[in-house]
Amino acid sequence: MSDHTSNILLESGTNELEIIMFSIAGGLFGINVLKVREIINPLPMTETPNSHPHIEGVIRLRQEVIPVINLAQVLNLPPSSNPQQDKLIIAEFNRLKVAFHVHEVSRIHRISWEQIEKPSQLFHSGHAHTIGIVKLESQMALLLDFEKIVVDINPEAGLSIEKVRALGVRERSEKKIYIAEDSAVLRNLLKDTLNEAGYVNLHFFENGKGAWEALHTLVEQHGQAATNFVDLLISDIEMPQMDGHHLTKRVKTDSVLSNLPVVIFSSLITEDLYHKGERVGADAQIGKPEIVQLVEMLDSLLQKG
């Protein structure tokens, strides 16, 4: 796979994505192409003493030292039965580069986010690392929460409430903020950190579709006055049912909601995706986990004194 993926998904806000399918112990999983830098055969690995049990060690790739995460261990699945087929998926998000050790890589599928269902609570209890079930013609695959996997291993990769506290005493704001974020872990972290920053009127949605339906209901109920009931929207990009770019495009092309400020807060703010966010009309785009930048942007857009 090439190191550059800007040729895919040239349209902005189409609610589509491309996923690379891979297998672990016979199970089928997926990762968004936009997270993937390249796929390589395993390289010589250096073990790291006292590291997290899910870290196999580190590899050296073109002068970079990259940690290797054993996904079979993360998912409590058996090791590879055919190690010569194993691959390393070199991924980059949250400003980190990591290698995911998988057992086999198959192909790329282009799908709609509508084909990805949120796991039920019953399913979720045993699959805490799954954010979506991908429905293909003849099979299903699990879309993993790679951010959660990394934050579980390295909590410093997540949002830091201490960084917000360093901003000093914050004035309380009753501005109503809608937040579309599919990761339960990040919803809780956002709640805690934004509360610490003084933003207490938060309304969370598990995906873009839920946020859009709530916004559309406001328009149906209140017409042109709908924006009196919501002051700003924060959205992730990757979400089942409706992604953040499509959500932003809908808001910005709506005659009533078009002036609602939209901030994209995502682990995927590459140059190409930044341009996509601009094209759909996002007012600001901030890469996770830069929570202080997010708070300062909220202060600016909401004119919080």
pLDDT one-digit tens code per residue, 23-49? 999 899 999 888 899 999 999 999 988
Cα–Cα dist 183/161, whole Å? 17
Closest CA to 276 of 241, 234, 247, 240: 247
Among the ranges given (12-21, 66-75, 84-93, 101-110), the one the predictor scored with the smallest mean pLDDT: 12-21
Residue 8: pLDDT band (50, 70, 90) is very low
Residue 289: pLDDT band (50, 70, 90) is confident
Closest CA to 6 of 37, 39, 31: 37
Q: How many CB atoms lie within 10 A of CB 146?
A: 24
Closest CA to 64 of 103, 102, 96, 100: 96
* Residue 202 token pair: 């938060």
Q: Are strands 16-24 and 27-32 parallel, antiparallel or unpaired?
A: antiparallel
pLDDT one-digit tens code per residue, 192-209? 999 999 999 999 999 999
Residue 159: pLDDT band (50, 70, 90) is confident
Q: Which of 67-76, 131-140, 147-156 has the highest mean pLDDT?
A: 67-76
Whether a cis peptide bond, with omega within 30° of 0, leads into 289 is yes
- Provide the whole-model pTM: 0.82
